[in-house]
Amino acid sequence: MWSDRQLRQLLRPKPIAIMEACAIGIVSALAGVGLKQSVVWLEAWRVDLAGTFSPWLVLPLIGICGGYLSGLLVERLAPEAAGSGIPQVKAALGYFPIALDLRVAAVKWVSTALSLGSGFALGRQGPTVQIGAALAAQLSYWTHTSPTHQRQLIAAGAAAGLAASFNAPIAGVLFAIEELLQDVSDLTLGTAIIAAVVGGVISRAIGGRGMVPDLSHIQIQFSLAEIPLPICVGILAGLLGVWCNRCLLGSLKFYQWQFRARSLAVKLAVAGGITGILSIILPHALLTSRDLQDLAILGRIDWQSAAWILGGQFLLCLVGFGASAPGGLFEPSLILGAALGDLVATGMQSGYAQGLLPIDLVVSSPTVYALTGMSAVFSAITHRPMVAIAIVWEMTAQFDLILPLMLGSVVAYLVAEKLFPGSIYQHLLIGKGINLNLPDLAQQSWVGLTAADLMQRRVETLSSQMTIAAALQAFADSSHRGFPIVEQGKLVGILTQRDLADIQQQQWDLQTPISALMTQRVIAVRPQDALTSVLYLLDRHQIGRLPVVEGRKLVGIITRADIIRAEAERVSSTVSPLGTRPEPSYLVYRTQRLLVPLSNPQTADILLRLAAEIALKSNYELECLHAIVIPRSRIPAETPVDLSVSRQLCDRAVALGRTLGISVHTQIRVTHNVAATILETISDRHIDLLCMGWQGKTTTPGMVFGSTVDTAIRQAPCNVMLVKLGARLQLHVGAGKSSAVDAMMRLTQLNRWLVPISGGPNTEYALQLLPALVALNREPEIHLCQVFAPTDDCPDRSSLNIAADFIRQSTDIVAKIATVYADDVPSAAIDFAIEQQCNVIILGASREGLLQQSIHGNIPNAIARGSDCTTIVVRAAISGSN
């Protein structure tokens, strides 16, 4: 059994968390630096071409080609790579099914390089966050971490990606904790810090400086007299952030409406062409992101140039973002903020120079206000003031900037939150139908649940000293498929039906204690473990139940059914809380149903008539199913089908039920797999008996009865009856006779019945069906035989006598009893049927004999091939499961 310490290591792998965080930081940093260098190289190449040839030809053409290739790559390989990438990471961390893996990371990397390198005025920081998160998710898949730790690694990857983009580890950690995960546990925080630090160090070592140019030659200072100016910048930044968010969302809607019938590649090609044209018309500084950053942040422009940069960058950002180009909003928002800060500072200085202001409010360098504007606009757009402050402060490493950065960011956030609550990423997710802030059903039902909420506290257990024979009886008397094994109140193992399957093959002594047979390496959880960990263990180890332990003391058990029930209760909100739920109801009666899959129109009436006789005798309702098989390349719900043949079969079943006074239900299903459809119907309609036709042979390798019948007899939990028509009935079928009256006339020929007796529940069930089946003939004759080994001097005929008594009591027919001595059971049964001129054989396969051999060997097939009789193979219901 696994110790409590081992379980903690599995669910929260602290010993390897540092190694994983380091690995994530390294690969995220390398990916971020590689993306940065690729964009710089492509931008330089584009500018060189525009200087060598006509920019009116080069820039639009590069924009169209780059946009088309980027869109085609995303559309064909990874649709999740469209846009910024941060909303996708937020959704994935919010338990929504958004793909994050190596494929997404690779497509995001290449498509972002193509789009930004071809002129789109977006940033690489958002994509780098998604790339880091996707790489971390892939690592978690490879190392098989639990869902909780997987989320922590994804957040660490996002932190490393942001840290590598800005050379700002603290900002990366704050963004991951504040924006993405909202979790400050020790493992989450530690993993994010390590990954971000490693990513930032590697990025600074091999990637050079970040967004901000060298400020060592600029005097950075701020006096208390200037406090009104950062507040003014914050107010204007808040208004600008609200306007940007509204326009960005409007741009998305415009593209969706205007290009609703076009592909993403076409949208990006159009946006790339427009961007190329605008780059020619607008100031030259907007041609590359590096020149624009240096010009705006250093404050070497007048207010007219700052206004041009502000308007031009805003327009270019709308064009690219609305088309869902791979690229983020971090860099555009920072450039917009720098331009806004420059505009305020230079406007104030110009007003003082022209006598419009009584005093010069700008005492320090305009660069201070450019940086303040960067932080403020970022805060207004993302609604994350702490991240905004940390990014700019880490990039500049200027302590004197703390006060203006805080003033501008906080004021901008307050203004933006008042006028437009929620960040741009939140609204983007809402536009896709994902609202992470609402306490919706998914969040309420799953995230807060623990093992203690789900477990059954009253557990049926077995003692480790119980014998195998007693355990077999316990399984026979219970619907459970597994029992925890306890010794002095402590969990020491678990025993499942799978453990009992090999008892006969390995020749275990039935008096052996089950401690020698049980599984000692038990997978268990603690009461406080989250549902995500429970689901992870159930799926990882493909098990149906999990013991709940405190130390080694067994306190409960969780099954898959418990999880489904708990979710249903929380969704419906019709029961009391999980901790005080009442005892479940107990089923005492329900209408029994018999399922008849109809496939061959020529044999359908015979099969229906057999099923109808059983329904009349046992008070069943008939459920008739016809499956229409379509290729796997087509979707069942969207494929048109011809129902004429199916409706005729169903109408014949309804007519027979009306004649006999039986309730008949019919359904037609479109499917890829008939066997799976039969099993679905058994589960949906609570079927008690499955009656299927059988050809008596199969050409499918590894199959005994055929693919469909094999699946049914192995997996159907209900009773199963397989019918192989004899030579006479098949002759009539071949002649094309298929009416209900003709079917009844043919079935009356089944007047001499042979029942080989082998003992076990399946033989008992065959005998239970026999009274209804022999009623097809007015003067049936029943033969019972049992095959014994030739060396058996004193055969036990008790089973034959019991069967004969049951037949006499239930049918008033005196069965003829015979004992047969032979080594070959199939041959003996066939020879006896020929000798007694029997025309129908019903096989009740025993648990140890015929059933096991029917799945692994050839007894029913041998009898069907060697005899012209109609052959019926019966298998009793499989015990229910937890």
Let me know: does 11 contact 149? Beta carbons within 8 Å.
yes
Task: Report the interhelical angle of 366-382 vs 289-298 (nearest 10°).
Answer: 120
Is 279 in the same domain as 160?
no
Considering 558, 580, 602, which residue would you say is the last residue of a domain? 580
Of 105, 152, 155, 159, nearest to 127 by C-alpha is: 105
Continuous H helices in 323-422 = 330-353, 366-382, 385-396, 402-419
If asked whether residues 117 and 239 sit together in one domain, one would say no
Same domain, 42 and 184: yes
Q: Which residues of 30-54 are buried (b: 16+ CB within 10 A; e: fewer)?
A: bbbbbbbebbbebbeebbebbeeee
Q: Are residues 395 and 497 in the same domain?
A: no
Give the DSSP H or E segment for 870. strand 870-875
61 & 134 share domain: yes
What is the pTM (predicted TM-score) of this model? Answer: 0.58
Domain-located, residue 163: yes
| Residue 523 domain-assigned (yes or no) | yes
DSSP state of 815: P
Which two tokens mark 71? 């869109």
The DSSP secondary-structure symbol of 81 reads G
Pull the structure tokens for residue 695: 């050809």
Residue 882 lies in a domain: no
Tell me whether residue 407 is in a domain.
yes
Tell me, what's the pLDDT at 249?
A: 92
Domain limits at 530?
446-580
- Structure confidence at residue 856 (pLDDT): 38
78 and 146 fall within a common domain: yes
Instruction: Give the torsion through C-alpha atoms of 846, 847, 851, 857, to 10 deg.
Output: -110
Closest by Cα among 37, 38, 63, 35 to 49: 63
Asked whether residue 664 is domain-assigned, the answer is no
Using CB atoms within 10 A of its CB, is residue 257 exposed (0-12), middle (13-18) or buried (19+)? exposed
Task: Please check whether residues 374 and 298 belong to one and the same domain.
Answer: yes
Q: How far is CA 752 from the centre of its chain?
A: 55
Counting as low any pLDDT under 70, the low residues of the chain are 1-15, 146-147, 181-189, 207-219, 283-301, 352, 355-364, 437-448, 476-479, 501-507, 565-588, 696-707, 728-745, 759-760, 845-866, 878-882
| Pair 61, 171 in one domain | yes
pLDDT of the residue at 759:
66
CATH of residue 118's domain is 1.10.3080.10
Q: Among residues 564, 580, 596, which one ends one of the domains?
A: 580
- Identify each DSSP E strand in 581-646 by its residue range: 592-597, 620-629
Query: Which amino acid belongs to residue 139?
Result: L
566: in domain: yes
- Structural domain contains residue 40: yes
The answer to whether 73 touches 110, Cβ cutoff 8 Å, is yes
Q: Is 547 helix (H, G, I), strand (E, B) or coil?
A: strand
Q: Is 541 in a helix, a strand, or coil? A: helix
Are residue 244 and residue 386 in the same domain, yes or no? yes
Do 152 and 186 belong together in one domain? yes
Residue 567: the pLDDT is 61
Sequence-ordered strand ranges (E) for 655-751: 664-671, 689-693, 719-724
- pLDDT for residue 114: 93
Residue 388 CA from chain centroid, whole number: 35
Residue 559 is predicted with a pLDDT of: 79
At 454, which CATH number?
A: 3.10.580.10
How many structural domains is the chain composed of? 3
* 537 and 393 in a common domain: no
pLDDT for res 135: 93
Structural domain includes residue 146: yes
Q: What distance in Å separates the CA atoms of residue 153 and residue 195, rounded to the nearest whole number?
A: 9
- Rounded Cα distance between 13 and 148, Å, is 10
Judged by DSSP in three states, 235 sits in helix
Entry field: residues in the chain: 882
For residue 64 the two structure tokens come to 């169209």
pLDDT score for 575: 39
Residue ending a domain, choose from 146, 175, 207: 207
For 661, other C-beta atoms within 10 Å of its C-beta total: 9
Packed helices 14-52 and 289-298: angle between N→C axes, nearest 10 degrees? 100
Asked whether residue 513 falls in the same domain as residue 541, the answer is: yes
DSSP state of 10: H
